[in-house]
Amino acid sequence: MKKFFTLTMIISAFTLYAQETEEKKLSITGSVDAYYQTYLSSSDDSGQSFGTAFADQTGFALGMGNLIASYEGEKVGAVLDLVTGPRGASATFSNDIVDGIVNQAYVYWNVSESTTLTFGRWNTFLGYEVISPAANFNYSTSYLFSNGPFSHMGLKADFALSEDFSLMLAIMNPWDTNNTSTTGEYSFGAQLGYSDQYLNIYYDSGNNGGLGFEIDYTGGFDLSDDFFLGINAAYNDNDGAGFYGAALYPQLATSDSFSIGLRGEYFGLHDKDLDDLPSVFAATLTGSYKLEDFIIKPEIRLDSWSNVDGIEPYLDSDGAAASSLNAFTLAAIYSF
């Protein structure tokens, strides 16, 4: 009986320990990507790029390696997201493209079923696109995404108001000041969501290179089982100057493994003291072939700026000034 009682106690203790460990989950995820890019309207050694974030090299190039460790408890948890490579360095404003760089690092507390507090550094809530290419349909990024913030450092509160409505409020360091705020200034953010449609607002003083005010809408609609239309529109103002634009993302799934999508974007600059500022129309056609967790993305991108006062930001194949730049890119992405 003593042996039976002892065995029962051991089994009970092990069961309780197993239940406790099941409530706390450690997961490791990430991605690796690389690409080849060549210009169709210019020489590959011209030293130019589209002027948007990431994927700005010709020839064979590395995107980034991404490793995310998530520890999830019943009420609390933490996320550490490390990146390396040129894309990771650009996203974190680091000159070091070899060593591991902190992309995200935050802790969170599920205060209730409808309220979560997050403290630390997290990727931005603004815009349709994100830093990781594994989560974007197009491999290259838009002007709207490239001109907004990439990450924030601060405290945010997420509220699930109902089954369809959500609200996020945040106080943060100024624009892309990810580690410290040495000026004593802070920025504020808010997001109102309804059925996967989001209205985003960001504000900082605009001083010290800040972003100022930005309002942004991002969302999309399933027009059929195979056809999705994504939408992004934004307006930014910093003391009377800034940017504006809109982008459409139609995407068609032709099979379980292949989809094709287009990003059509109009992006412009504005300034209360200047007239006829340049604008750009960019069309990016991307294919996406998925084999398990491996994705191949062939892409053709055509950017054309308005020729205002003789401003032509690119070079053609002869080295002469040009208002447009075209490129072909082949990217490979593996997620785990």
Q: Which residues contact 219 (CB under 8 A, 6 or more apart)?
A: 196, 197, 198, 230, 231
In a domain, 21, yes or no: no
Candidates 253, 233, 255; CA nearest to 244 is 233
Residues 114, 136 contacting (CB under 8 angstroms): no
% of the chain surpassing 90 pLDDT: 76
203 contact partners, CB below 8 Å, separation of at least 6: 187, 188, 189, 212, 213, 214
CATH code for position 108 = 2.40.160.10
Q: What share of the chain is helix, strand, coil (3-state, %, to 5)?
A: 10, 55, 35
Q: What are phi and psi of 10, to 5 degrees?
A: -65, -45
For residue 304, being part of any structural domain is answered with yes
**H-helix segments, the chain:** 2-23, 86-91, 143-147
Q: Which H or E run includes 151?
A: strand 151-160
pLDDT digits (tens, 9 = 90+) for 80-128: 999 999 999 999 887 665 556 899 999 999 999 999 999 999 999 999 9
Q: Encoding tokens for residue 272?
A: 């209360």
The total of structural domains in the chain comes to 1
Residue 68 forms part of a structural domain = yes
In a domain, 138, yes or no: yes
Q: What is the phi-psi region of residue 30: left when phi exceeds 0, alpha when psi lies from -120 to 50, beta otherwise?
A: left
* Residue 85 belongs to some domain of the structure: yes
Which residue, among 155, 142, 300, 307, has the nearest Cα to 216 in the 3D structure? Answer: 142
Other Cβ atoms closer than 10 A to 140: 27
Q: Show the domain range for 312.
A: 26-335
Task: Look at residue 1 and tell me if it is in a domain.
Answer: no
Q: Which long-range contacts (CB under 8 A, 24 or more apart) does 160-165 make?
A: 160/113, 160/114, 160/115, 161/114, 164/194, 164/195, 165/192, 165/193, 165/194
Euclidean distance between CA atoms 65 and 336, whole angstroms? 11
Q: CA–CA separation, 215 vs 167, rounded Å?
A: 15
Domain assignment present for 14: no
- Establish if 157 belongs to a structural domain: yes
> Tokens in use for 88?
């990771």
DSSP letter assigned to residue 238:
B
pTM of the full predicted structure? 0.89
Helix (H, G, I), strand (E, B) or coil at 311: coil
User: Can you tell me the distance from the alpha carbon of 136 to that of 128, in angstroms, rounded to the nearest whole number?
Assistant: 9
Bridge pairing between strands 115-123 and 151-160: antiparallel
Per-residue pLDDT of the chain (336 residues; tens, 9 = 90+): 444 334 344 334 444 444 455 467 999 999 999 999 999 999 999 889 999 999 999 999 999 999 999 999 989 999 999 999 999 999 988 766 555 689 999 999 999 999 999 999 999 999 999 999 999 999 999 999 999 899 999 999 999 999 999 999 999 998 765 566 777 889 999 999 999 999 999 999 888 778 899 999 999 999 999 999 999 999 999 999 999 999 999 999 999 999 999 999 999 999 999 888 999 999 999 999 999 999 999 999 999 999 766 778 898 988 898 999 999 999 999 999
